[in-house]
Structures are given as structure tokens and as C-alpha cells.
Structure 1
Amino acid sequence: MAVEAVIFDIGNVLIEWQPERFYDSEIGEARRREMFAQIDLHDMNNDVDLGGPFRETIYGTADKYPKWRNEIRMWHDRWFELATPAIDHSVHLLRALRAKGVTVFALTNLGDEIFARAQKHYTFLQDFDQFYVSGEMKLVKPDDAIYAAVEAACGHAPDTLLFADDRQENLDAASARGWQTHHFQHPQGWADRLVSEGLLTREEATWPEAEKDKT
């Protein structure tokens, strides 16, 4: 089935999301491993993704663990250092699709407060035709209900949607509903997929800066 809409995940597709890397640089790998072993910070983040208040959720967790209070609060206070840098080639692909008139959506597990801030910080996040944000929907990937909600809202048949995500479980859930999927591991692979689908030409999918690096 021909692709009618392309759907981007955000974390590790358009923006690197590596909390462990941030904490390794701030407190060292050994202390980071100790903290993550004692506290499920990703579960805390999942509460935010489900619509929990950003500051209150993280600060509330920090208050439960006085030994790590300052470190946990960094998840809120320095969020843009956890979510960096932008993946420039992926941003180029997003904009190239828009320039061709291809419909593009975002489907992300992200708190609604954070997403609003992120759109100001990373202005390319304003470039989608529609945004499906877990914090607003009160649903997270890979819950089947979030994919059903996207289908109901977007007006496209499942088999006309092409979805790129870095997590296989999110793709498996989408595939089970008939979506076309791409396991994002590197932007060049995503570029190749978009070319193979006839959505972009090879030239359109090439990030200009990558060509400069070859010279």
C-alpha cells in the first residue's frame, strides 16, 4: 500500500535522548549505575509521559530519595541537556518531506509541558501536520490504544502509515495494527527507506552537511 503519511517518533529519531550519558558526565558512571539501580527513573519519566505534572512528579520522586535529591532534580532542571543534540540528518528528512507535500505526524511519549517547551527550543518540532503527544493523550506507546487513537484522528488507513521509532516494541504494536514501520537506528537507514518508498529522491534525502564532510 502506498504511504500517505509518515510518522516520526522524537526521542532518538529527531533528538538524542540519553539520560544515562548525561548522568555519567555529571556524577560518573559508577554513581549513575548506583542511582539507577536504586531508583527507577525511567518509570518516573513514564508517569510524566502519561500526563503527570513535570516538576511535581520529578521533585516528588527526589524528595523520596534524599541521598539523590539533587541528582534527580536535574531530570527536570536540566532536561534539555538530557535531550540533546538534535539529529540533524533526521531534521533534514522531516523538512524535505514537508517540502514535497508529504503529510508528516509526530507520535511521541513525552509530557505535554515538556513538548510545549521543546517546540520553542527545537523549532523544527513545530513543522508537523499533527502532533500526537502521550502527555496530552494520557496514553503511551506501546499501548494499542494510542495507535488506535492516532488512526481515528488522522483519517488515514493503518496500512498507509509509515512509522519510524527506535524501540522495537513500539514498532511491533504498530505493525500488529497494520502500520508500515521502520526501526530507526541511524538517519541514513531512514533516508534509504524514504527513498525506497518513493517519498524522496536520493538527492532530496541527502543531508548537505554529510556531503561536505566527504570533501
Structure 2
Amino acid sequence: MKNIIFDLGQVLVQVLFHDFRIKFAEAFNTNVDILAEETVDGAHIDFMVGKISPDEFHRMTCERFHHFISLHDFKKLWLGMLGGKVEGTDEIVAGLRRKGHHLHLLSNVDQWHFEFCQNNFPVLKHFEKKFVSYQMKLKKPDQEIYEQVVSELKASADECLFIDDKQENVVAAQTVGMDAIQFSDAFQLKTVLNRKGIIF
């Protein structure tokens, strides 16, 4: 396989959204039940696709929930959504890299989370290209983001293997012609890669 493309959240880095929702509700004096399961508010989507700046995201969130916290405290709260590494995946990535595979990243991620991951998760050094939603102004599972990745890699879709924890993102990748694996844990990923004859 010419290019192996990894998702970031829940594949390489844990996202602790359940715990985050509780802390967010406490900080903004609101009911946790009104928070969407995977996004706090529409402003988060705009932040994730680079339509608004970090300052605008902070202001819009405070306005949305009618409660002010400082930018510093808000960023600290937001970064608290991220946990540690997903156990075992970094070893797979390092092994693939040692064997000469071309590794890339494709993630729906905002500026704060991506910068934090760049600075705190050494596994990211193994990726040649990092395709992130806030820079591309696109997000998974929109077909255009996969097509742009294939174009920038100067590859055909069938030369790309995509690994993501969400079914809708895997299906979207397959729709454009990529091979794809829905990730559940490192043991499962090792098993599927071995079955595909990908050595690491």
C-alpha cells in the first residue's frame, strides 16, 4: 500500500468527551443534557473547519451560554477534552514507518487541539503530511476532503488505506475508492493489517 492515512482522535489520541461535557457544563453553569454528544455548539464546527479564530470561538461560546470565563481558562478547559495516547497504536505507526510505509494524518481537529497534539504526542513525527480540517476548511465525511488528500498525495485512491474509528468516515473513504479500516483498538488493527499483507 503506497499511502497509509490515520485519523487522530480515538485512533492515536484519546478524546474524553463524556468527562469534558460534565466539566464544560459546570464551567458554564449549564445543563449537561443540552450539550450535543460530540460537539458543544455550532461554533465548534466553525472552529474545527477554520471559519472562526480561537478568540471568536471563545467569544461566541460565552455568548451562546450567557456566561463568561477567561480565554485562558476556556482554552485550558477545551484542551482537557484530550486524554493520553491510544494504547498500542503508536507502536504500530512506528513499525510501519520503519518498514518504509508512507504515513499521513487526516483529522477533523481544531487549531488548539492540533497544536497541543503536535507538542505532546511524539507519534505525530512519523507522519509525512498532516491533513487537518481547520487548515483545509473541510471536514470528514465530506467527499471533497478525501479527494483533496488523494490529489495532494499525487496518488490514486486505490493506493491509499484510511484508518478511522467512525463508520461514516470509513464509508466515505471507500466511496472515493480508498481501502479503509474502521478502528476499534490496536490489536484489531494489527490483525487487519496482517490480513492485508501489510508488514510492520
Cα distance, 1:127 vs. partner? 1.8
- 1:145, 1:176 → 2: CA distance? 11
Q: Provide the residue aligned with 1:13 in structure 2.
A: 11
| Distance apart, 1:113 and its partner CA | 4.7
Please tell me whether the aligned partners of residues 20 and 32 of structure 1 are also in contact (alpha carbons under 8 angstroms): no
The match for 1:163 is 162
**Alpha-carbon distance change, 65 to 32 in structure 1, aligned in 2, over 3 angstroms:** closer
Q: Tell me, yes or no, if the aligned pair for 2:79 and 2:113 is still in contact at 8 Å.
A: no
Post-superposition offset of 1:27: 5.9
For each residue in 1:13-43, what CA deviation from the matched residue of structure 2 results, as whole angstroms up to 9, or x when unmatched?
Answer: 1011122223336768xx6533416xx6153
1:164-206 deviations in Å (ceiling 9; x for gaps): 1111111111111110011111221111111122222xxx5xx
| Structure 2 unaligned residues grouped into runs of 5+ | none
Higher helix fraction (1 or 2):
1
Query: What secondary structure, in the 3-state scheme, does the structure 2 residue paired with 1:78 have?
Result: helix
Provide the secondary structure at the position in 1 that maps to 2:88: helix
Distance in structure 2 (CA, Å) of the matches to 1:160 and 1:53: 35
Is the CA contact (8 Å cut-off) linking 1:134 and 1:140 kept in structure 2?
A: yes
Structure 2 CA distance for partners of 1:55 and 1:191, relative to 1, 3 Å:
farther
Kindly report the root-mean-square deviation, in angstroms, between the aligned alpha carbons of the 2 structures. 2.5
| One-letter amino acid of the structure 2 residue matched with residue 57 of structure 1 | F
Partner of 1:54 in structure 2?
A: 54
Report SS of the residue matched to 1:7: strand
* Gap runs ≥5 in structure 1: 205-215
Pair 1:174 & 2:163 matched: no
Find out whether 1:117 has 2:116 as its counterpart. Answer: yes
Question: Does the CA contact (< 8 Å) of 2:25 and 2:32 recur in 1?
Answer: no
CA pair 182-82 structure 1, distance change in 2 beyond 3 A: same
C-alpha offsets along residues 93-148 of structure 1, whole Å, 9 cap, x if unaligned?
Answer: 11111111101110001124532332012122122011111111111111111011
- How far apart are the structure 1 equivalents of 2:59 and 2:19? 21
SS at match of 2:35: helix
**Identical columns (%):** 25
The 1:125/1:7 distance shift into structure 2, 3 A limit, reads same
> TM-score w.r.t. structure 1 length?
0.80
Matched position secondary structure for 2:139: coil
Q: Are the counterparts in 2 of residues 102 and 199 from structure 1 also a CA contact under 8 Å?
A: no
Alignment check: 8 A CA contact 1:107 1:131 kept: yes
The answer for the alignment partner of 2:65 in structure 1 is 65
Superposed CA deviations along residues 29-64 of structure 1, whole A, max 9, x for unmatched, are xx6533416xx6153322111112124213321223
Q: Give 1:193's aligned residue.
A: 192
Is 1:4 equivalent to 2:35 in the alignment? no
Q: Tell which deviates more after alignment, 57-66 or 84-93.
A: 57-66
